[in-house]
Amino acid sequence: MGCVSSLLFASCADKAKKVDGFAHFSSDFDTTVAQGDDFYQFSNGGWLKTHPIPGEKSRLNTFDVLNDENLERLRVIVEQARDKHAAQGSNEQKIGDYYALAMDSLRRQKEGIEPIRPIIERIQSMSFNVKDSTFAENLAYFHLNLGNPFFAVGCTPDSKNSSMNIAELWQDGIGLPNRDYYFDESEKGQEIIQGYKRMVAKYLELIGVDSSESRANAVYDFEKKLAGQMNTKVQNRDPQAVYNKSSFDDLKKNYPDFNWDAYFNAFPVKPSELTVGQPRYFSNLFKTIAETDSITLSDYLLVATINYVASYLSDDYMMAKFDFYSKQLSGIEELKPLWKRSLDMVQNRLGQPLGQLFVEKHFPMSAKNRTIDLIEHLRTAFGQRIDALTWMGDSTKAAAKVKLAAIGVKVGYPDKWEDFSGAEVDPSLSLVENFIRLTNFCSIKEMKEVGQPVDKEKWYMTPQTVNAYYSPMTNEIVFPAGILQPPFFYADGDDAVNYGAIGVVIGHEMTHGFDDQGRQFDKDGNLTDWWTAEDENRFKSATEKIIERFSNVVVIDTMRCNGKLTQGENIADLGGLNIAHQAFLNTLTDSVKDPMVDGQSFDQRFLLAYSRIWAGNYRDEYLRNQVITDSHANGKYRVNVQLPMLDFFYSAFGIDEKDKMFVRPEERIEIW
């Protein structure tokens, strides 16, 4: 999952009853469907019927149900912080006051655009001479405070010197979710483009710009030029291609049309070296800016700025953004309740301080300890599977096992919390002004890490996040407290269910260290080739098969899954299933019987638990957007395309040639 999700909520575990310490899901089966024809529908059909998508969402899956329960818990925390009037400068004061500001919609209505009027005036008086120092200084201001117009800058571990942080430049600055949207000639694609233009025109109209429709078209045309120079998401999956390191002096020589000295003088650190993710984009960017008239560039920056803060302004701005991104692009029918939107704002900028309060109340040490135990069982099983691989040679196997042994583990919450003492929330200022101040705090904090050793204790997710991740440059797997609850994890539950759910998630994240991207990094997180040429070719041959299999899946209308974009997640799913099952088998002994629970065997419960974590209903708009932008395949296919690769799926449910999901043994894919 390069990303996943998490939490025993009655709402999601309503059908996952506990029987003698076991969890089962049979009341949610759709028995009108054969197991071997559509296992996803068979195992989840009842759940799908009882979990319709609410108007405020574009989807409802197990992740979302769990997250909603999590939000209820967080709501109690933020409301208590709001009402407590905690000491000035404390995390509770910042959380409580920021939440109170977000909840004060009447104040936002009264203030309108005025809190950012100075920023609008700054844009309208700007010079867009790309070589001029004032343009560079202004652009630095926006990058530190107001998003990523034109391009993005950040701090990341150096891919080839992973113990040190380095500055990174990356393509950015378009308003549609992906560069591909700008070149979609289909009827749906053109409708989305027109909807985006309407939003841009609305923003311009609201701030008093004349001829807003024609000027919106000019802004769109400029963004399309930027998009045309961008890498695709598939191209950006190649870590070698996006690693282009240079000294600061070489940066100035390679891209001489921009005043890099003036730009980085505005940052806390002026980097001595950095990486450029997409050289072609930066080679053309400043030329494109120089060839564009100043009115269009001013409008572009106005739109980018308003779009970045629209949710923090009065309703007219917020609804203009909602109507396009939520309603048209995602199919969402109505706004979230104000308290949920307000809580999202708190999590967006004060997520870790809020997480510190969350884990104090809602994360038992027993869950952490059992998760760590599961991880080590999965590590052992992965090693066994590496030993048994027939396609990999001994020298590469040895290196793979060294990397596996070195994978770091973080569970629950950070051992060292990030210092937010320098962040300030001032109730006398507007919500949007406080948002900008907090954005500046986070940006400065990040950029101060450039040129410094990588902080091995740093987390890149908050503890309450319903997700998990693997980081190739730190070679670590991270499981926030949010995911360590049902239906992913039962602290006192059935091993078969735990290995089929959280066990597969753990194996999935481990496998990311050995997918098409992760395999290019060594045990220390450095972008280094540790494979023999023969093993690399055999690996790529296997991955081509999984790319082809997913590329044949029609998700909606004529749109197919992007097998190349999703290959890393698909490799990780398949690896996670095999590794977790091996780890589960390792727990069994000859003396252990297979107690049937609700008529389900060990292997059946394992596979049903896996399928359950992907149960979900999705709007058509969401599915279309997912195909274009998401490196994850839809949950239905993470079940129905993957399970036929597993021999034990056939034996567990009696699947044979007459079933639609049957895949001949010689065509089943096995990588890790």
Q: Which CATH class is domain 134-309?
A: mainly alpha
- pLDDT of 619: 98
pLDDT band, residue 592 (cuts 50/70/90): low
Question: How does the average pLDDT of the chain come out, rounded?
Answer: 94
Asked if residue 16 has pLDDT above 80, the reply is: no
Per-position DSSP letters for 353-420, written without gaps between them: HHHHHHHHHH--HHHHHHHHHHHHHHHHHHHHHHHH-SSS-HHHHHHHHHHHHH-EEEEES-SS----
Ordered by start, the domain boundaries in the chain are 10-73+343-357+364-418+458-667, 134-309
Higher pLDDT, 595 or 180: 180
- pLDDT of 18: 42
Asked if residue 390 has pLDDT above 60, the reply is: yes
- pLDDT of 596: 78
pLDDT band, residue 2 (cuts 50/70/90): very low
Give the model confidence (pLDDT) of 136-168 as tens digits: 999 999 999 999 999 999 999 999 999 999 999
Separation of alpha carbons 377 and 333, rounded Å: 45
Q: Token pair for residue 661?
A: 């999901």
* Whether 131 contacts 252, CB under 8 Å: no
Alpha-helix residue ranges (DSSP H) falling in 207-293 = 212-228, 248-254, 260-265, 279-290
- pLDDT of 15: 36
Of 358, 411, 407, 416, residue with least CA distance to 383: 407
* pTM attached to this predicted model: 0.94
Give mean pLDDT, residues 16-34. 70
Residues 6+ apart with CB under 8 A from 403: 475, 513, 514, 522, 523, 530
Q: Which value, in Å, is the radius of gyration of the alpha carbons in the chain? A: 25
Per-position DSSP letters for 23-71, written without gaps between them: EE-GGG--TTS-TTT-HHHHHHHHHHHH-PPPTT-SEEEHHHHHHHHHH
Asked if residue 194 has pLDDT above 60, the reply is: yes
Q: Which amino acid is at 607?
A: L
- pLDDT of 26: 83
Asked if residue 53 has pLDDT above 60, the reply is: yes
Asked if residue 78 has pLDDT above 80, the reply is: yes
pLDDT band, residue 281 (cuts 50/70/90): very high
Tokens 């300890």 sit on residue: 369
- pLDDT of 8: 24
Beta bridge partners of 478: 410, 469
Separation of alpha carbons 623 and 635, rounded Å: 11
- pLDDT of 590: 64
Beta bridge partners of 271: none
273-276 and 469-471 strand pairing: unpaired
Asked if residue 4 has pLDDT above 50, the reply is: no
Query: For the chain, first and last CA: distance in Å?
Result: 16
Region 10-73+343-357+364-418+458-667: CATH code = 3.40.390.10
pLDDT band, residue 332 (cuts 50/70/90): very high
